[in-house]
Structure 1
Amino acid sequence: MKKEARYLVPGDYMADPSVHVFNGKVYIYPSHDWESGVPENDNGDHFNMKDYHVFSTDDVMHGEVTDHGVVLRVEDVPWAGRQLWDCDVAFKDGKYYMYFPMKDRNDVFHMGVAISDRPEGPFTPQPDPIKGSYSIDPAVFRDDDGSYYMYFGGIWGGQLQRYRDNKAVEHPSLPEGDEPALPGRVVRLADDMLEFAEEPKPVVVVDADGKPLTASDPHRFFEASWMHKYNGKYYFSYSTGDTHFLCYATGDNPYGPFTYQGVILTPVVGWTTHHSIVEYKGKWYLFHHDCVPSNGKTWLRSLKVVELEYDADGKIITIDGGAE
């Protein structure tokens, strides 16, 4: 379905939006694409990604979008190496917790935590990354019982293939063909929101027969996890990366398994997209990005939003991403 979409920050290149409703407003937490002058590669080195901004609005499709400025920089983080990729923010007991992936000085991704008294920041980072953390794309979900879960993981530049059973391996590899696809991860957060409360677990996406999607399936997980609930069901959504879909699967608990349901967004113009799904004022919205405004220049990305709809059975109606 072709729907009206809106570019949210036309004056800058922002991507990977994580979106939440705090204090009656929509807050957008994106990554920030800067040209680095490095040739394009799968590690994302052509994007400098040296800081985060926060944006807010009270009218998603037509209202003013406020830029609250830079809220965290690479140089603010004591353990920093480089590259602030996709982040997310959660609220608990009067504090806002920003979870961010960053490469340490050995070029290995870990998850950091930064804290603020306000949703618009600025955020003050903790001195060390979360113990046992790895890979990229944290998405934090608050369940109805008050528990918080982080979904994370990304293949290739996201380094997920370097780990098995939460331990780094000497020889990274990816499954192939009819082997089960490499899954993302989910972990419950500790009460203080600063550590993992358990060992991360695989997020398995299965077909209608209960079999895990294979590595060759164009709808298998690649990166960009998101979790939301609709009519009591858990909707796990994700990017398929090199096949350029946003897909979703549903389950009965935060750990899954999740049964594959379909495509949310067909391919956009540009590299792999990234998204979040949020309800605001009785409507559902899909936030994502594409590369149309940059005219393909190193695939610099721009934030978009489009209204999301469900059918009577709770199926998400597929949106046309615009790529030919």
Structure 2
Amino acid sequence: MSFSKKAVGIILLTSLLTLSFSSCNDNSKAPENTEVTSDADKSSESPEVEKPKAIEPNKPLFTDVFFADPSAHVFNDKLYIYPSHDIDSGIQPNNDGDQYAMEDYHVLSIDDFNSSCVDNGQALHLKDVSWVKRQMWAPDAAYKNNTYYLYFPAKDKKDIFRIGVATSTSPTGPFKPEKNYIQGSFSMDPAVFTDNDNKSYMYFGGLWGGQLEKWKTGKYDSNGAAPQGSEPALGPKVALMNDDMLTFKESPQEVSIVDENGNPILASDEDRRFFEGAWVHKYNDNYYLSYSTGTTHYIVYAMSKNPKGPFTYKGKILNPVKGWTTHHSIVQFKDKWYMFYHDASVSGVDHKRSIMYTELSYNSDGTIKPIN
């Protein structure tokens, strides 16, 4: 090849490269924010993720599964709810509550009320507990000793309600039960309160199906009857717990609930007397014992300067809701106070209940503002 031919080839190649480079630069100078997307590109885009629905006050947390008796606690800035799990047992209702034939426990959790409530699945089942025969009713939970404790009532092999305890390293379980129920325990509705001095107390008891009236002598009497008329009403029981949180440090004693004059609330006073579902919380320097009146379907409360009482009756917190039972808990979460409760508005069946919540507020004297 001659020099002239080589020179022409080099010139042509250089021109082609220059044109190509120029073309790339022109594309890079397209107007800002202009985007061309083909139909194929559009079809490959990820669908928009639906945001979790906020949890509204006084609306069921779930409508497709039934939980009741919510015990709410805050662990590590997260809200956990320990409820009973209602099922359709097919058993006809009676005063012993046989229709409430619950078999297991789930743990619910809430990051905040702008997110959904999560069912973390089964945490403990009847078949896992050797001493239990049936009816795992309203539970509660506590945290101490780097351990989470689940307290639950159930009928033993003799159909006597006892209170058991199971442990876990996680607030959602699974929970491993102790081999036997807590010695000295009886009846139902355990609620554990830990004070500022790190002492923990268990409150428990309930009439009728809860068998509290059958323990008036300190021993189980199958013929034991509830007080009547002008007799003082029965109060819940309280026991100081050992540091292991597995045993009582003392024998349970009755909690006294009195009126403004210091007189015991009477058995006939069904708007104020204790029936079941005791819960204790502390606000400022006051201890609050709240509970269900049962037959009249109120949640009411009494106040004291001592976690063991006596507690002076103060008034109603919650008016009757749909369904026979009323069971609640009160908890502080993210600088506000809330009450969790249940009703039967979704199912229309007393033993298939749904959990809800509502905000709780106090008057300047420490009394609680009623919730309608």
Give TM class, smaller chain.
over 0.9
2-structure distance, mates of 1:18, 1:90: 10
1-structure distance, mates of 2:343, 2:89: 19
Amino acid paired to 2:137? W
> Who is 1:292 aligned against?
345
What is the CA-CA distance between 1:87 and the residue it aligns to?
0.5
Unaligned segments of structure 2, at least 5 residues: 1-55
Unaligned segments of structure 1, at least 5 residues: none
Mapping for residues 83-122 of structure 1, pairs under 5 Å: 83-122=135-174
SS at match of 2:278: strand
What is the CA-CA distance between 1:171 and the residue it aligns to?
2.9
Report which of the two has the higher share of strand. 1
What is the CA-CA distance between 1:6 and the residue it aligns to?
2.8
Please state if 1:229 is matched with 2:277: no
2-structure distance, mates of 1:134, 1:263: 27
> Who is 2:231 aligned against?
179
2-structure distance, mates of 1:212, 1:304: 32
Instruction: Give the structure, 1 or 2, with the largest relative contact order (CA under 8 Å, sep 6 or more).
Output: 1
| TM-score, length basis structure 2 | 0.83
Deviations 1:175-230 (A, max 9, x none): 11111001110001111111110010111110000001000112100000000001
Amino acid paired to 2:303? T
Please state if 1:157 is matched with 2:209: yes
SS at match of 1:162: helix
> Who is 2:33 aligned against?
none
What is the CA-CA distance between 1:298 and the residue it aligns to?
4.5
Amino acid paired to 1:289? H
2-structure distance, mates of 1:90, 1:279: 15
> Who is 2:307 aligned against?
254
CA 1:170–1:52 in 2, change beyond 3 Å: closer, same or farther? closer
> Who is 2:363 aligned against?
311
Contact 1:34 1:49 survives alignment (8 Å): yes
Please state if 1:24 is matched with 2:77: yes
> Who is 1:10 aligned against?
63
Q: CA RMSD in A?
A: 1.2
1-structure distance, mates of 2:145, 2:252: 24
Report which of the two has the higher share of helix. 2
> Who is 1:241 aligned against?
294
> Who is 1:169 aligned against?
221
Contact 2:325 2:350 survives alignment (8 Å): no
SS at match of 1:167: coil
> Who is 2:91 aligned against?
38
SS at match of 1:75: helix
Deviations 1:22-56 (A, max 9, x none): 01100000001101111111222222201100010
2-structure distance, mates of 1:313, 1:97: 34
Larger Rg: 2
What is the CA-CA distance between 1:4 and the residue it aligns to?
4.4
Please state if 1:202 is matched with 2:250: no
1-structure distance, mates of 2:293, 2:199: 27
How many residues in Structure 1 have an aligned counterpart in Structure 2?
316
SS at match of 1:168: coil
2-structure distance, mates of 1:298, 1:16: 12
**Which portions of structure 1, spanning 4 or more consecutive aligned residues, are displaced by more than 2 angstroms?**
none
What is the CA-CA distance between 1:63 and the residue it aligns to?
1.9
**Residue 147 of structure 1: which of 199, 212, 218 is its match?**
199
2-structure distance, mates of 1:171, 1:272: 24
Amino acid paired to 1:33? D
SS at match of 1:310: coil
2-structure distance, mates of 1:193, 1:298: 33
SS at match of 2:371: coil
Contact 1:46 1:298 survives alignment (8 Å): no
| TM-score, length basis structure 1 | 0.95
CA 1:310–1:304 in 2, change beyond 3 Å: closer, same or farther? same
Equivalent pairs: percent with the same residue? 52
2-structure distance, mates of 1:266, 1:152: 22
Amino acid paired to 1:264? I
Amino acid paired to 1:196? F
Contact 1:6 1:306 survives alignment (8 Å): no
What is the CA-CA distance between 1:265 and the residue it aligns to?
0.2
What is the CA-CA distance between 1:166 and the residue it aligns to?
2.7
1-structure distance, mates of 2:287, 2:369: 17
